[in-house]
């Protein structure tokens, strides 16, 4: 099985550069604007797109992404509508990998088999479900793999060498390394510590390792990309969305261009990295 994720990382390896991975919240600030943002991301330099599935109790998310999820839920975004948004995106883009990121509860309510079938049909390539540990792989991970979707696991600064094999056992697509201990947007990534962590993870797997949490500037993105196969930015993008809204929290003509401008700047940072990690 070769997914769009596998193909994209193979392509980037040939180019000798790391991936720029962007995170946006589905339905933030509204369904139409969210789709417009999604369509603008590849043109601005995103190599892989993570889409947040709005959830009422997002325990790993910092205030910015929590607020984005609440804006989306207030606007009526659902998991079914999130899949419809991916389907609309695929009408014009059949190459950019799409990863849905979030929590298990909405998928459980939707029904695992129905969700996986609908996600695959919509054009989803992978899943990051932050509250399902390896011990629960039969719940979603293994069925997802059988459905042809990558299941991407998180590794953290507290994931030691004893724990890593379990984390990596059924992981595919790439490994997502969380660069800080804590929630999204809480601190800035330390490129030296990240370099050591990425090297350690790579001793256990041949999968690409992407680093997220704590990357907000082109310089930080560049530093991370020099040591990892990808740099993930979420909070900074979500903050730009919020900053572009009017007093009532509605999208303005500035919303999509503001996101595209930031993504373009960050992409230049990633692409300016001296050498992507092997």
Cβ atoms of residues 47 and 8 within 8 Å: yes
Our answer to whether residue 136 is catalytic in this structure is no
Please tell me the distance from the alpha carbon of residue 243 to that of residue 59, in angstroms, as a whole number.
Answer: 23
Our answer to whether residue 196 is catalytic in this structure is no
Count of C-beta atoms within a 10 Å radius of residue 90: 16
Q: Of 128, 211, 137, 206, whose CA–CA distance to 177 is shortest? A: 211
Residue 140, judged by CB atoms within 10 A of its CB (0-12, 13-18, 19+), counts as buried
Please tell me the distance from the alpha carbon of residue 8 to that of residue 122, in angstroms, as a whole number.
Answer: 19
Q: Which of 50, 118, 125, 137 is catalytic?
A: 50
Residue 153, judged by CB atoms within 10 A of its CB (0-12, 13-18, 19+), counts as buried
Cβ atoms of residues 204 and 185 within 8 Å: no
Which tokens in the block code for residue 171? 């992981």
Cβ atoms of residues 147 and 137 within 8 Å: no
Q: Which residues are catalytic?
A: 50, 61
């Amino acid at each position: 099985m070769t997914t769009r994720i596998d193909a994209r990382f193979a392509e980037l390896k040939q180019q000798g550069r790391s991936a720029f991975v962007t995170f946006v919240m589905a339905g933030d600030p509204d369904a139409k604007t969210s789709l417009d943002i999604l369509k603008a991301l590849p043109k601005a330099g995103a190599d892989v797109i993570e889409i947040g599935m709005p959830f009422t109790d997002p325990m790993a998310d910092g205030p910015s992404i929590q607020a984005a999820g609440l804006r989306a839920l207030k606007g009526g975004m659902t998991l079914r509508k999130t899949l419809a948004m991916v389907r609309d995106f695929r009408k014009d883009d059949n190459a950019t990998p799409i990863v849905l990121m979030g929590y298990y509860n909405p998928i459980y309510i939707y029904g695992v088999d129905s969700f996986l079938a609908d996600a695959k049909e919509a054009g989803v390539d992978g899943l990051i479900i932050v509250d399902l540990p390896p011990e629960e792989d039969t719940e979603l991970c293994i069925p997802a793999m059988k459905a042809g979707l990558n299941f991407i696991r998180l590794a953290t600064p507290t994931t030691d060498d004893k724990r890593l094999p379990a984390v990596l056992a059924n992981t595919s697509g790439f490994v997502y390394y969380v660069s800080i201990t804590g929630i999204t947007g809480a601190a800035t990534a330390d490129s030296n510590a990240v370099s050591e962590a990425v090297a350690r993870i790579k001793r256990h797997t041949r999968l690409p390792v992407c680093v997220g949490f704590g990357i907000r500037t082109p310089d930080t993105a560049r530093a991370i990309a020099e040591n990892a196969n990808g740099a993930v930015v979420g909070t900074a993008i979500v903050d730009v969305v919020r900053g572009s809204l009017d007093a009532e929290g509605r999208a303005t003509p500035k919303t999509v261009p503001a996101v595209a401008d930031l993504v373009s700047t960050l992409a230049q940072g990633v692409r300016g990295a001296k050498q992507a990690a092997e």
